A and B are shown apart, each in its own frame.
Chain A
Amino acid sequence: MSFDLHINGAAQTVDVPSDMPLLWVLRDILGLTGTKYGCGVAQCGACTVHLDGAPVRSCLLTVAAAAGHHITTIEAIEQTEAGAKVQQAWLDEEVIQCGYCQSGQIMAVTALLQNNPHPTDADIDDAMAGNICRCGTYVRIRKAIHRAASQDA
């Protein structure tokens, strides 16, 4: 089936099965490999993208459900004010180790800050508990979120 997608500000038409998760459309059809496969069952958050600004797990979001909505992936998050701030904070705090989960972490944090520019630790716990980091960068993720939040444009 053919679906019209709005990804990172551009229109894309893909011809794929309607139940195909957006994750595999992004990675295998469109070559946007920054969005990662970690678990396939919305347990790890590595596949997080924005659907109309809200963080969603693309491993369970079908292409049919995504069609017609604005999708943002890690490849374009620097074009958002919050995203660019988060990326910079991630570098300044040297959050990243292997980096495999970090696309999803950055997408989740960006959505958090877009809705809540000055999150408390409890807000951070709520927003980020769905994103696993196997390298254990959590201490720095929290610190970097506070850093990004303190840098208002």
Chain B
Amino acid sequence: MRKWNRTQGEGLSPPTRRALLGGVLAGGGGFLLSAFVPGLPLIRASKAQDAVTGIVFSPNAFIRITSQGGVTLIMRHAEMGQGIYTGISMLLAEELEVGLDQVSVEAAPADPAYVDSVAGEEETGGSSSTRDSWVPLREAGAAARMMLIAAAAEQWGVPASACTARHGTVFHHASGRSTSYGALAEAAARQPVPKKITLKSPTDFTVIGTSPRRLDTKAKTNGSARFGIDVQIPGMKIGCIKACPVKGGHLTGYNRAAALAVPGVVDVLTLPDAIAVIASHMWAALKGQEAAAPAWDYGPNAHIATTDIVARMKAASEQSGVTALKTGNAEEALKRAHTRIEAVYELPFLAHAALEPINTTLHIRPDGADVWVGTQVPGRARQEVADATGLPPESIAVHNHLIGGGFGRRLDSNSIGQAARFAKQVSYPVKLIWTREEDITQDQFRPYYYDRISAGLAADGTISGWHHRTTGSAVTARWYPEGMQNGLDPDAVEGAAQTPYVMADQLVEFVRDEPDAVTTLWWRGVGPTHNVFVVESMIDELAHTSGQDPLALRKKLAAHQPRAIKVLDEVAKQSGWGRALPVGHGLGIALHYSFQTWAATVLEVAVEKSGQIRLIRVDSAVDCGPIVFPDGVVAQIQGGLIFGLTMALYNEITLKNGQVEQSNFHNYRMMRLNEAPDIRVHLVPDPDAEIGGIGEVGTVAAAPALANALFAATGKRLRRIPFAKQFSKVDASL
């Protein structure tokens, strides 16, 4: 996700240069770092431990070098599969002049030194990690290297300019001398942090732009990688949580004696709206929960259904909203249009359904707390625990872990606060787990959107008027209220107020309508996943209605955007756009610019006589500016597409009597291997452009490319997600 206004520099202050380059760790004192070393179990490292292992050179918050030569890179961004531990290490290693085989990585603690300046807080989200790190972390690596070189030069009595560094060693070629970083650590720590840093020319890169073996994957092939749910602390108990199935309800009773009678159950804890059964193992906790048979007062939302929520949204959408963008006069241009299309697009509530269910392990003591969790927001996690316990934040250590899928869910820390309110009731460490059912039904959902759109075409095939009014929840208002802009949620219109196309007369509006019984949250691709579906479907509708080729119309309307033309041409070539297809097959195209990355995607679909949709192949041409880790980019586009196609085909969260109707993978369906298309990613980088994000780009492209392909295959226009249930035998015969 992305906080639009922060991207434009209006939000919280970015970390200072001092924080990024100065001796943050040295000044911190008493840091307790949760450390993950690939291939090894979770270990703890601290300054005290460093003192035992050797003198440490820690020129900034991101690098530690011991006198034994150990190089540790501290990761401020969470690894949740996107490969960021590898990408960030590449940036540091490139300028530090170490090999990736020489480094260990560990997760950063909650500390302002690790604020992401794009996001404005300690956060992994919004496809911002590489964008935010591209310059500062190379500078951090270069500063450390310069200090190591300066230390060697001083020892040898030669100018620093006569020395070079490579693979963890400083060389003085004229005399043939060399010395390792470990041997220089103590002396380097006494060097001043350089004031002026010159970064390598891209032509000298030896790490950036290559595809090394990922740093986190070996441990993920043999069971040794530790996710939050794998934490084991001496004396730890295990509990499972059940909250009231209706938001706003509360617990009215439960059978405590029956729960405690289950062998292994040690405690039953309650909050006003939830119950946790604590046991020596998860099975006892589950059985105990069943025995406890909690009773609820469902409260004011007890009768809410999705149909009620949507009916109110539909009514709200008939009124004007907050203007997000206004150019020319859309109304007049639509009146004089040669062809006009008016449509309603609808996108459902969505669960994140990361495969690792929500879990938090805590040990809350009178004087402080430890929290073991996988989170996208360590600072918020710490504050949640502080709020829940009254402990000062400085006394709370957040040990961030590998995350078994984030997708935006771990951008909220509500589950960590809930766990803390339970854990503070006991003295022992406790791991609190949500079952899969709890993970889906108690999720915070991607908002439902109800979009009205009118677009016109002039006789020459150009756009004559474009009016897009989106109605839905403002996630920003809850999650980051400072980000609201006079009633406008920038996220709700991202991808609508900035299209790749020339539109002289355009009006984009937002109508805020907060649904009852549901809390909304970021979901992979955020605003663009919503709006690009609407915009790219509508462009396709205009093309077909006016008898234009969908690719040709896009090229005409985006002619002023050379990078758009480049990705369109590349995907057209690679996908064989316009080729003859078997009966029942169709090609759909989508173009978008999001997270500072351009992508054009062509999808081939087949609709069987039974109405069964088969995904044949996807080609995606991507220009994210300079590329750090090409294979990582390809993997994110592949995975992002599958994530988005899963949603487009199958996913919707619905409510009945205030309760979520989906509960597990039998009724919240995931795409499976046998359904996955062939995916071909074509990288067309622009090394001189601003660097773009990549984790959400594939997801954004999926629904519009598929909707447009389904139209090409069957003549049926899909304006509502999910698609699969809207096809029957009849459609396939078209």
* Residues of A participating in the B interface, judged by any CB pair closer than 8 Å: 16-17, 20-21, 24, 27-29, 31-41, 43-44, 46, 73-75, 77-78, 87, 90-91, 94-103, 106, 124-126, 128-142
CB atoms of B665 and A39 under 8 A apart:
yes
Given A37-B229, A87-B222: A99 and B638 within 8 A (CB)? no
A71 to B461, CA, bound (A): 66
Among the stretches B111-119, B190-198, B210-218, the one at the interface with A is B210-218
CB atoms of B217 and A41 under 8 A apart:
no
CB atoms of A87 and B281 under 8 A apart:
no
A32 to B41, CA, bound (A): 12
* A96: B residues at CB distance < 8 A: 81, 214, 216-217, 220-221
A32 to B238, CA, bound (A): 15
The minimal Cβ–Cβ distance linking A45 to chain B, given in whole angstroms, is 10
* B639: A residues at CB distance < 8 A: 97, 135-137
The minimal Cβ–Cβ distance linking B77 to chain A, given in whole angstroms, is 14
Q: Please, which residue of chain A has its CB at the minimum distance from the CB of B670?
A: A132
CB atoms of B676 and A139 under 8 A apart:
yes
- Pick the contact of A38: B82, B221, B232, B436 (CB < 8 A): B436
A85 to B516, CA, bound (A): 52
* B435: A residues at CB distance < 8 A: 40
CB atoms of A141 and B673 under 8 A apart:
yes
The reply on B356 being an interface residue by CB < 8 A is yes
* A43: B residues at CB distance < 8 A: 664-666
CB atoms of A102 and B220 under 8 A apart:
yes
The minimal Cβ–Cβ distance linking A44 to chain B, given in whole angstroms, is 6
Q: Is the interface of A mostly helix, strand, loop or mixed?
A: loop
The reply on B168 being an interface residue by CB < 8 A is no
CB atoms of B81 and A97 under 8 A apart:
yes
Chain B positions 459 through 481: 1 when the CB is less than 8 Å from some CB of chain A, otherwise 0: 00000000000000000000000
Task: Supply 19 further A-B pairs (C-beta < 8 A) apart from A28-B238, A77-B222.
Answer: A20-B283, A44-B355, A46-B355, A75-B223, A91-B217, A96-B214, A96-B217, A96-B220, A98-B403, A98-B406, A99-B81, A102-B221, A103-B220, A129-B674, A131-B673, A134-B670, A135-B643, A136-B640, A137-B638
The minimal Cβ–Cβ distance linking A2 to chain B, given in whole angstroms, is 13
Given A94-B217, A96-B214: A17 and B354 within 8 A (CB)? no
Which residues of chain B in 336-395 are interfacial with respect to chain A, using CB atoms and an 8 Å cutoff? 353-357
Given A28-B281, A40-B436: A99 and B216 within 8 A (CB)? yes
Which residues of chain B in 280-339 are interfacial with respect to chain A, using CB atoms and an 8 Å cutoff? 280-284, 287
Given A36-B404, A87-B221, A94-B213: A136 and B355 within 8 A (CB)? no
The minimal Cβ–Cβ distance linking A25 to chain B, given in whole angstroms, is 8
A106 to B446, CA, bound (A): 32
The minimal Cβ–Cβ distance linking B733 to chain A, given in whole angstroms, is 26
Q: Please, which residue of chain A has its CB at the minimum distance from the CB of B279?
A: A28
CB atoms of A135 and B217 under 8 A apart:
no
Q: Is the interface of B mostly helix, strand, loop or mixed?
A: loop
The reply on B731 being an interface residue by CB < 8 A is no
The minimal Cβ–Cβ distance linking A87 to chain B, given in whole angstroms, is 4
Which residues of chain B in 663-692 are interfacial with respect to chain A, using CB atoms and an 8 Å cutoff? 664-666, 670-674, 676, 678-679
A145 to B673, CA, bound (A): 12
CB atoms of A37 and B357 under 8 A apart:
yes
The reply on B625 being an interface residue by CB < 8 A is no
The reply on B587 being an interface residue by CB < 8 A is no
The reply on B140 being an interface residue by CB < 8 A is no
CB atoms of A21 and B404 under 8 A apart:
no
* B638: A residues at CB distance < 8 A: 136-137, 139-140
Q: Please, which residue of chain A has its CB at the minimum distance from the CB of B642?
A: A136
* B218: A residues at CB distance < 8 A: 91
The reply on B80 being an interface residue by CB < 8 A is yes
CB atoms of B402 and A98 under 8 A apart:
yes
* A99: B residues at CB distance < 8 A: 81, 216-217, 220, 225, 402, 404
A62 to B734, CA, bound (A): 50
CB atoms of A134 and B405 under 8 A apart:
yes
CB atoms of A134 and B643 under 8 A apart:
yes
* B80: A residues at CB distance < 8 A: 98
* A100: B residues at CB distance < 8 A: 227, 354-356, 404-405
Given A34-B224, A77-B222, A94-B214: A39 and B664 within 8 A (CB)? yes
CB atoms of A97 and B665 under 8 A apart:
no
A-B contact pairs, 23 of them (CB 8 A): A16-B283, A17-B264, A17-B287, A20-B283, A28-B281, A28-B282, A29-B281, A33-B230, A36-B404, A41-B664, A44-B665, A74-B223, A91-B217, A91-B218, A94-B214, A96-B216, A99-B81, A99-B225, A128-B672, A129-B672, A136-B640, A137-B639, A139-B679
* A126: B residues at CB distance < 8 A: 674
A46 to B217, CA, bound (A): 17
The reply on B576 being an interface residue by CB < 8 A is no
The minimal Cβ–Cβ distance linking B220 to chain A, given in whole angstroms, is 3
A33 to B664, CA, bound (A): 22
A96 to B477, CA, bound (A): 35
* B221: A residues at CB distance < 8 A: 87, 90-91, 96, 102, 106
CB atoms of B673 and A73 under 8 A apart:
no
* A40: B residues at CB distance < 8 A: 435-436, 664
* A129: B residues at CB distance < 8 A: 672-674
* A17: B residues at CB distance < 8 A: 263-264, 283-284, 287
* A95: B residues at CB distance < 8 A: 217
* B678: A residues at CB distance < 8 A: 139
- Pick the contact of B631: A36, A46, A94, A142 (CB < 8 A): A94
